[in-house]
Amino acid sequence: MKKVLAIVLALTMVVAFAVGCGGNDTSGDAAAPSAAAPSQAAPGASTPPAASPAPGGGSPGSGAAPASEGPIRIAGCMTLTGALSVDGDQINKGIQLAVHQANANGGVLGREVEYVIEDAGSTPDTAINSINKIVNGNYDVIFGPHFSAQVLAMTDILNDAQQLNIFGGTNPTIMGQLTNPYSVRCRVRDAINARASATFIADQGVKKVGLMTVSDDFGQGARGVIEAYYDSIGLEYVAEVFNTEDRDFTTQLLNLRNAGIDSMILWGLGDTPVLIARQMNELGMSGLTVMSSGVTTTPEHRDRMEPEWYDGWYANSQWNPQSSDAASIAFNKDYEELHGVKPNFLAAAWYSTTLWYLDCVEKAGSTDKDAVLAVMKQTVDFPALNGNYTWDDRDLCNTIIIVQTPADGTINNIRIVQG
Rounded CA gap, 164 and 394, in Å? 12
Q: Are residues 339 and 231 in the same domain?
A: no
Our measurement of the distance from residue 268's CA atom to the centroid of its chain's CA atoms, rounded to an integer in Å, reads 14
Q: Domain containing 256: what range?
A: 191-317
The percent of residues in the chain predicted with pLDDT above 70, rounded, is 84
DSSP-derived secondary structure for 166-184: EE----TTHHHH---TTEE
Q: Are residues 223 and 154 in the same domain?
A: no
**What is the predicted pLDDT for the residue at 392?**
92
45-57 residue pLDDT tens: 333 333 333 323 3
The pTM (predicted TM-score) of the whole model is 0.81
* Within a domain: 103: yes
Q: Which of 294, 317, 340 is the last residue of a domain?
A: 317
The total domain count for the chain is 2
* Within a domain: 329: yes
Q: Are residues 164 and 113 in the same domain?
A: yes
Q: Are residues 313 and 343 in the same domain?
A: no
Q: Are residues 134 and 17 in the same domain?
A: yes
* Within a domain: 419: no
CATH assignment of the domain containing 138? 3.40.50.2300
**What is the predicted pLDDT for the residue at 248?**
97
Q: Are residues 231 and 175 in the same domain?
A: no
Phi, psi of 403 (to 5 degrees): -120, 165
β-pairing verdict for 289-292 and 141-143: unpaired
Q: Are residues 371 and 291 in the same domain?
A: no
Q: Are residues 25 and 142 in the same domain?
A: yes
**What is the predicted pLDDT for the residue at 191?**
85
Where is 302: in which H helix or E strand?
helix 299-302
**What is the predicted pLDDT for the residue at 146?**
83
How sure is the predictor about 189, in pLDDT bands with cuts at 50, 70 and 90?
A: confident
203-223 residue pLDDT tens: 999 999 999 999 988 889 899
136-161 residue pLDDT tens: 899 999 998 888 888 888 888 988 99
Contact in structure between 134 and 76 (CB atoms under 8 Å): no
For 126, 290, 345, 365, the CA distances from 60, given in Å and listed in that order, are 38, 44, 27, 9
**211 bridge partner residues:** 239, 265
How sure is the predictor about 66, in pLDDT bands with cuts at 50, 70 and 90?
A: very low
Q: Are residues 348 and 269 in the same domain?
A: no
**What is the predicted pLDDT for the residue at 144?**
85
* Within a domain: 417: no
* Within a domain: 54: yes
Q: What is the mean pLDDT of residues 90-118?
A: 97
Q: Are residues 281 and 213 in the same domain?
A: yes
Mean pLDDT value across the chain = 83
Q: Which of 285, 317, 349 is the last residue of a domain?
A: 317
2-55 residue pLDDT tens: 344 333 333 333 323 333 333 333 333 333 323 322 222 332 333 333 333 332
